[in-house]
């Protein structure tokens, strides 16, 4: 795919973040999400690709925009799969908490897994520990192997885990082995990405989170040369039925999903913009004189280039933004 | 103009910087420049533009590549016709000696929008957005400092003026010191110094003095994108240069050149990448496993967006033309 898409995708997440950022702390999760969806949809209409949403806001009957199967973009030739999470962490935005981001991943048609809306058991690490994790191995084995790969003591290793009741056993076991833990309330993709950057202080992600987010995280980690493994993990009968309807029958559920199963090939783009301050990206800051600043990252698996983009926007000089911010003011 | 050109211009300056930075401190000005020219030219060849070099490495007989008038880009029928202004390496000495503030810069505008500035001196003044419209190239330096101090809401003693460290600026330095402002002299890198006036954190408030005219056009393009102000006047040193001015169609050499005269209109894109560490941009850093980091800035006058881009490159995964 054309390398020009990289900056186009940053514009998409930047605009989503600039719109959604307006809802910070306003206690309005729906508003925060709607603003990001509106922003992403408007900005994507300028992207030169024939895109199809494979991971989005839900099924057609649940979401008016960015629903699964929706065709977006203005291109005619290049057919692409799109995975989006316009706001990862709507509660975070609503409460003004850290780590909310807007994310998008893109790959040639058929390359991103159309994951069912269910849970996924996950493990993720950065480039230095790539190839050293196994989702079926014990926690102790994984921690030992990652510690060795990073050339640090287990006591200096930081595991990031979502703060949920279902992770009680994982947390106990990590503590028993002696590693440090960073719990997060929301933002599975951001947490997975953090493992690929040493300065975040996060070495490994473990636990059970959303399957769609797993696909986005796998796309990102592929660009960065990290590693990701997942297994679908339906938690209710309803989810099991949903999985079965999409071909994930009981006998297939135990399949190990590698990065390549989730995000195939080597032509993957990923972009994210911070909405609130996080480990990796700073949140949107609004200044006087209609200025705002965003902090993003964009990556391309083909060349392995990772670009951090700090952008200063003139909110009154960009037509899409003007229109959006009139609605979400 | 196509907004996708913005990131592609960063790719151009990144390629030049990654090549040129290899020569840091190796005492070879020419090689450092040649490497930057090569990197820039090869990346330009992959862009779908119909470009003509307006500000470049010199006249055709002096420069094998990126000479004035050279056609560059991979033009197709519907490609936009553009003027290209480049300084593949602003600060050749800085790279040769491993000193700070070397950058690679490029600016693009629709055909006919850049002044074809001759290779001679230019008298310049540059300030950031807050002082826009408050200085004048013809006003005494004392007046400009006074007005700048009012516009920035800080006393003159807290104002920092930057200028090239050259004997020709002796009188200017004397006057600035007499009024009580601070001075930051620099050896090399006129474009970077002008840009610094637009970023408060650089600690630089105003650029004055005589530098290169081609660099003046690049600075004007950059300051237009940032909402700053730049004025210049050609400064021919002899009759030969004066004749060159009139040959290029510049009748009134004494005219103050505004940003509009040097970089016309609103469809300007400007990009720069640091080669050695500077006030605004960090230089290239090479890491283990064939990786390197660059720091760049890219701006578009039309939307006023300014993007700082820190990129981590995998040198072994780059396409052939970028190696």
Distance from CA of B108 to the nearest CA of A (A): 17
Task: Decide if B312 and A6 are in contact by the 8 Å CB cutoff.
Answer: no
**Residue B59: per-residue pLDDT:** 81
Is residue B119 over pLDDT 80? yes
Q: Is residue A61 very low, low, confident or very high in pLDDT (cuts 50, 70, 90)?
A: confident
- Band (A318; pLDDT cuts 50, 70, 90): confident
Give the pLDDT confidence score for residue B319 in this predicted structure.
80
3-state secondary structure of B40: helix
Could you tell me the pTM of the whole model?
Answer: 0.90
Residue B170 pLDDT: 96
Q: Measure in Å the smallest separation between the Cα of B66 and chain A Cα atoms.
A: 24
- What pLDDT does residue B43 have? 94
B292 interfaces chain A, CB cutoff of 8 Å: no
Residues of A in contact with B306 (CB under 8 A): 311-312
CATH numbers and ranges of domains, chain B: 5-113+268-322 (3.30.540.10), 121-262 (3.40.190.90)
What ipTM does this complex have? 0.84
Contact at CB, A4 and B8, closer than 8 angstroms = yes
Q: Band the pLDDT of B131: cuts 50, 70, 90.
A: very high
What's residue B194's pLDDT?
96
Average pLDDT over all residues of chain A: 94
What is the assigned CATH class of domain A5-110+267-327?
A: alpha beta
**Could you read off the pLDDT of B138-156 as tens digits, one per residue?**
999 999 999 999 999 999 9
User: What's the pLDDT at B113?
Assistant: 96
In angstroms, rounded to a whole number, what is the distance separating the alpha carbons of residues A13 and A297? 10
The pLDDT tens digits of the residues spanning B180-194 come to 999 999 998 899 999
- Asked if the Cβ–Cβ distance from A303 to B306 is below 8 Å, we say no
Per residue in A96-114, is it b (16+ CB within 10 Å) or e — as a string?
ebbbbbbbbbbbbeebbbb
CATH of domain A119-262: 3.40.190.90
pLDDT in tens, A125-167: 999 999 999 999 999 999 999 999 999 999 999 999 999 999 9
Contact present, B216 and B224 (Cβ < 8 Å): no
Lowest model confidence (mean pLDDT) among A278-292, B139-153, B169-183: A278-292
Task: Report chain B residues whose CB lies below 8 A from the CB of A300.
Answer: none
A5-110+267-327 with A119-262: one CATH topology? no
The full set of domain ranges for chain A reads 5-110+267-327, 119-262
Of A306, A307, A314, the CB nearest to B303: A314
pLDDT for residue A301 is more than 80: yes
Q: Which residues of A touch B308 (CB under 8 A)?
A: 309-311
Burial class from Cβ neighbours inside 10 Å (0-12, 13-18, 19+) for residue B201 reads exposed
pLDDT band, very low/low/confident/very high, at A59 (cuts 50, 70, 90): confident
Option in A302, A306, A311 nearest B306 (CB) = A311
Asked if B32 reaches chain A (Cβ–Cβ under 8 Å), the answer is no
Q: Out of A3, A8, A304, whose CB is closest to B314? A: A304
pLDDT at residue B2 greater than cutoff 80: no
- Interface touch A312/B306, C-beta < 8 Å: yes
Percentage of residues of chain A with pLDDT beyond 90:
88
Closest partner residue to A312 among B7, B8, B305, by Cβ?
B305
Mutation pick from B47, B153, B296, B305 vs chain A, by most beta carbons of A within 10 Å, is B305
Interchain contact, A311 vs B303, CB within 8 Å: no
More confident residue, A127 or A63: A127
pLDDT in tens, B24-78: 999 999 999 999 999 999 999 999 999 999 999 888 778 889 999 999 998 888 8
Q: How far apart are CA A12 and CA A9, in angstroms?
A: 5
Calculate mean pLDDT across residues A17-28: 95
pLDDT for residue B244:
83
What confidence tens digit (pLDDT) does each residue in B229-280 have?
A: 999 999 998 988 888 888 877 778 889 999 999 999 999 999 999 999 998 8
């Amino acid at each position: 795919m054309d390398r020009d898409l990289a900056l186009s995708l940053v514009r998409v997440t930047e605009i989503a973040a600039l719109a959604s950022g307006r809802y910070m702390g306003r206690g309005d999760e729906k508003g925060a999400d709607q603003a990001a969806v509106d922003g992403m949809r408007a900005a994507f209409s300028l992207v030169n690709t024939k895109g199809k949403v494979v991971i989005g806001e839900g099924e057609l009957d649940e979401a008016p925009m960015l629903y699964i199967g929706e065709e977006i973009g203005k291109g005619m030739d290049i057919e692409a799969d799109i995975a989006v999470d316009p706001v990862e962490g709507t509660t975070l935005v609503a409460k003004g908490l850290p780590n909310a981001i807007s994310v998008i991943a893109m790959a040639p048609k058929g390359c991103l897994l159309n994951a069912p809306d269910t849970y996924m058991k996950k493990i993720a690490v950065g480039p230095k520990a790539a190839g050293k994790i196994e989702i079926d191995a014990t926690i102790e084995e994984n921690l030992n192997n990652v510690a060795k790969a990073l050339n640090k003591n287990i006591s200096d290793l930081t595991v990031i885990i979502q703060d949920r009741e279902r992770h009680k056993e994982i947390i106990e076991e990590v503590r028993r082995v002696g590693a440090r833990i960073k719990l997060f309330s929301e933002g599975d993709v951001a947490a997975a990405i953090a493992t690929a950057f040493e300065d975040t202080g996060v070495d490994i992600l473990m636990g059970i989170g959303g399957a769609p987010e797993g696909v986005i995280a796998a796309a990102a980690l592929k660009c960065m040369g990290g590693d990701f493994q997942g297994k679908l993990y339906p938690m209710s009968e309803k989810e099991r039925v949903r999985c079965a309807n999409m071909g994930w029958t009981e006998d297939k559920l135990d399949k190990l999903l590698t990065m390549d199963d989730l995000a195939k090939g080597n032509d993957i783009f990923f972009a994210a913009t911070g909405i609130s301050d996080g480990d990796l990206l700073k949140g949107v800051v609004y200044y006087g004189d209609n200025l705002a600043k965003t902090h993003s990252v964009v990556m391309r698996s083909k060349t392995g280039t990772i670009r951090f983009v700090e952008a200063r926007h003139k909110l009154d000089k960009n037509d899409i933004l003007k229109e959006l911010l009139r609605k979400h003011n | 103009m196509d907004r996708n050109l913005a990131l592609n211009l960063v790719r151009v300056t990144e390629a030049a910087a990654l090549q040129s930075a290899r020569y840091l401190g190796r005492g070879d000005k020419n090689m450092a420049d040649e490497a930057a020219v090569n990197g820039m030219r090869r990346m330009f060849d992959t862009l779908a533009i119909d470009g003509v070099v307006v500000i470049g490495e010199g006249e055709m007989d002096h420069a094998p590549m990126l000479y004035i008038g050279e056609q560059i880009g991979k033009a197709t029928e519907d490609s936009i016709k553009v003027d290209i202004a480049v300084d593949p390496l602003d600060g050749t000495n800085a790279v040769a000696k491993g000193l700070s503030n070397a950058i690679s810069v490029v600016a693009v505008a629709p055909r006919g929008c850049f002044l074809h500035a001759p290779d001679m001196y230019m008298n310049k003044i540059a300030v950031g957005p807050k002082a826009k419209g408050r200085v004048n190239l013809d006003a005494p330096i004392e007046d400009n400092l006074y007005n700048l101090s009012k516009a920035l809401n800080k006393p003159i003693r807290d104002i920092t003026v930057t200028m090239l460290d050259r004997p020709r600026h002796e009188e200017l330095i004397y006057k600035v010191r007499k009024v009580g402002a601070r001075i930051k002299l620099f050896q090399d890198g006129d474009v970077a110094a002008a840009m610094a006036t637009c970023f408060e954190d650089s600690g630089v408030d105003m650029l004055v003095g005589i530098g290169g005219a081609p660099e003046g056009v690049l600075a004007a393009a950059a300051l237009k994108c940032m909402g700053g102000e730049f004025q210049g006047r050609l400064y021919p040193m002899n009759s030969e240069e004066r004749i060159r001015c009139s040959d290029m169609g510049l009748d009134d050499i004494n005219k103050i050149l505004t940003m509009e005269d040097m970089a016309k209109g609103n469809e300007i894109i400007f990009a720069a990448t640091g080669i050695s560490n500077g006030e605004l941009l960090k230089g290239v850093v090479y890491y283990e496993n064939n990786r390197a980091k660059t720091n760049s800035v890219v701006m578009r006058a039309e939307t006023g967006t300014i993007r700082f881009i820190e990129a981590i490159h995998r040198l072994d995964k780059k396409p052939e033309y970028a190696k």
